[in-house]
Amino acid sequence: MKKVIFISLVVLAAVSCQKQLKEVVYSNLTDENAFTTAENAQAAVNSIYSSLHLTYREPMFYINDISTDGGYKGASYYETMNDVAIFNDNRTLVAWNGFFEMVARANIVIDQVPQMPDNYFGEGFSKEQMLGEAYFLRAFAYYNLTDVFYQVPLTTSSKEDPTARKPVAPLSKIETVIENDLFNACDYLPKSYKSNLDAGRPTYGAAHGYLARLYMRQAGRARQNGENATNLWNDALTEVNKVLALEGTVYSLQPTVWNVFDPTNEAAIYNNELIFAIRASGTLPSGSWDLGLQFTGWEYDMGWGNMYQPLEMTWQFDPADERLTVLQVTEYEDVYAPDETYFRAPSDVTETGAVNKNHTIAGKTYVLMNELAETYTQKYKFLNTWKYIYDTPNNLPLMRLSDIILCKAEILNELNGPTQEAIDLINRVRDRAFQDNAHGLSLANYASKDDLRSAICDERLFELNMECQRRPDLIRMGLWKDRMTKYINTIKQRYSYKAANEGQPAGYYDSSWAAYPDVATLTDDDIRRYMPVPYREVTLNPELKDARILKTE
């Protein structure tokens, strides 16, 4: 007898973060008793979400942010693009396992729920919605797997042997499955949910948003291959417009950037700029996570300091931008010695190594002045300093309205070159960030499609840093080599200033930046744009060793 295994205790709060739900253990459902009620069908759907917290708690940030100019963790394999070390690192394995777990559980729902009689589903249970969630989440998993590893094995049936050593499928075949799954999700999913308890479930808007991302990814790849991508950009525009048609009724741009991330009140936690997000509970143990602890240092708010932001990114912000002044920590008093110790980041690259020469801040003198080698994001603010409580209610936005607005600007530029319409879309996001309309971009400053693409790439960095989007953005825009070259060169320059400002000989800090690759080795089609399939998986299945061979199908 074939057993069907579900784990449903953890997931309930991943899709809701308000009430204590009644927890039912479905640990050993078999072919004979599974899918005989709407309740256990719903449990099967809920189980698909269960790996999201672990997959995104740290791994996807390292994969998509730390590996780029938008995230920082000194000496990290991802930070220094150490391909051999990443091959053996556990984070890619966690991502691989998490997304394939989603695929396997979605396959069960997609195979089984259509066979259930309609009369099994009474009030409060929708057969169509269950299928819509399963199709969306399978597409979401494969979309991310191909974003991370480029090509992976493809399994679309729960009847296939999960231990079979399958080769990677062509990317074009996987993307066809993603596209069809998202079409199905669009047909089945609601535009919104009545209760905040369902806030983490995908919607019609999220499905169209991921279709737009899929077509944009394909179009960017086609452009870089020298192919005509007009039809794909038009497809992406159609999907983006379907999401934006919901603005004002379902979605709205929040009045300030802080409103998007504020974890302190229910109105902000459930704000309607979020199109698809990983939710959490600060009070429900089965659904909590420690996301808020990952991004700041111990001396600031007792954070764990696992992921930071690079100075090289922080220095690019306009000083009036609230995405800097509100969402980044660049200086602070030591939480343990607030009257004695101060931490501050250099204001620009030339000040590196000179911060601790001035111990006075705003008229207050400190015994110790420490120079920060990084800055902190407040997007996932930790609220429990001194409490030693790790349960946090921080959302992780995976798609939000400002992202879609910038996507439309990018699409219009690819189709038509710089236009006032594209500039106006970018300025909607900038006006919110600056709380005025005096910092907008001007069409006259962008003479070519390449010029505006570069500006949109920068705007996406300012708006979406540390939201697991940077590496895919750079690949799609064909700017990975350009931005990584600039990033590494500025790191080298920073250590040159540090040595000079500290009175050290030239080259004193060479070992601090030597771990980064020589920029002369970076290429437009660099294999390091994608992650290697984890060592364990290649050991078990040698068919996977060539997953990153970049070829056009």
Q: What are the structure tokens assigned to 389, written together? A: 């409580």
Question: Is 124 in the same domain as 179?
Answer: yes
| pLDDT interval class at 536 (50, 70, 90) | very high
Dihedral, 479, 423, 243, 268 alpha carbons, nearest 10:
90
Of 279 and 189, the structure prediction assigns the larger pLDDT to 189
Mean pLDDT of the chain: 92
Residue pair 406/456 in contact (Cβ under 8 Å)? The answer is yes
| pLDDT interval class at 13 (50, 70, 90) | very low
Residue 401 belongs to a domain = no
Question: Is 101 in the same domain as 75?
Answer: yes
Residues 6+ apart with CB under 8 A from 356: 369, 370, 371
Residue 472 belongs to a domain = no
Question: Is 262 in the same domain as 334?
Answer: no
Question: What is the distance, to the nearest Å, from the Cα of residue 20 to the centroid of all Cα atoms in its chain?
Answer: 28
Residue closest to 274 by CA, chosen among 192, 212, 215:
192
Of 389 and 439, the structure prediction assigns the larger pLDDT to 439
CATH of the domain at 260: 1.25.40.390
Q: Which 3 state secondary structure label does DSSP give 246?
A: coil
The yes-or-no verdict on residue 184 having pLDDT over 90 is: yes
Residue 450 belongs to a domain = no
What stretches of 435-478 show up as alpha helix (H) in DSSP? 449-464, 470-476
Percent of residues, the chain, with pLDDT higher than 70: 92
Instruction: From 360, 382, 404, give the residue that closes a domain.
Output: 382
Q: What are the structure tokens assigned to 378, written together? A: 């407040």
Predicted confidence at residue 273, as pLDDT, reads 98
Residue 536 belongs to a domain = no
Residue 46 belongs to a domain = yes
Predicted confidence at residue 509, as pLDDT, reads 95
Question: Is 83 in the same domain as 189?
Answer: yes
| pLDDT interval class at 34 (50, 70, 90) | confident
Question: Is 166 in the same domain as 213?
Answer: yes
Residues 6+ apart with CB under 8 A from 261: 268, 327, 378, 379, 380, 381, 394, 395, 397
Residue 524 belongs to a domain = no
Q: Which 3 state secondary structure label does DSSP give 278?
A: strand
Question: Is 335 in the same domain as 211?
Answer: no
Question: Is 311 in the same domain as 166?
Answer: no
Predicted confidence at residue 27, as pLDDT, reads 46
The count of structural domains within the chain is: 2
Burial 390-407 (b: 16+ CB within 10 A, else e): ebbbbbbbbbbbbbbbbb
Predicted confidence at residue 11, as pLDDT, reads 39
Question: Is 80 in the same domain as 54?
Answer: yes
The yes-or-no verdict on residue 31 having pLDDT over 80 is: no
Instruction: From 333, 348, 382, give the residue that closes a domain.
Output: 382
Instruction: From 332, 358, 382, give the residue that closes a domain.
Output: 382
Residue 304 belongs to a domain = yes
Range 41-68 average pLDDT: 96
The span from the CA of 283 to the CA of 489, in Å, is 45
Domain of residue 210 covers 3-287
DSSP per-residue string spanning 298-365: HHHHS-----BEEHHHHTTS-TT-HHHHTTEE-EEE-SS-TTTEEEE--SSGGGTTTGGG--EETTEE
Range 352-364 average pLDDT: 96
Question: Is 331 in the same domain as 313?
Answer: yes
What pLDDT digit, counting tens, does each position of 82-138 carry?
Answer: 999 999 999 999 999 999 999 999 999 999 999 999 999 988 899 999 999 999 999
Residue closest to 264 by CA, chosen among 385, 382, 396:
382
The yes-or-no verdict on residue 50 having pLDDT over 70 is: yes
Question: Is 78 in the same domain as 186?
Answer: yes
Question: Is 245 in the same domain as 374?
Answer: no
Of 323 and 287, the structure prediction assigns the larger pLDDT to 323
| pLDDT interval class at 80 (50, 70, 90) | very high
Question: Is 342 in the same domain as 279?
Answer: no
Residue 426 belongs to a domain = no
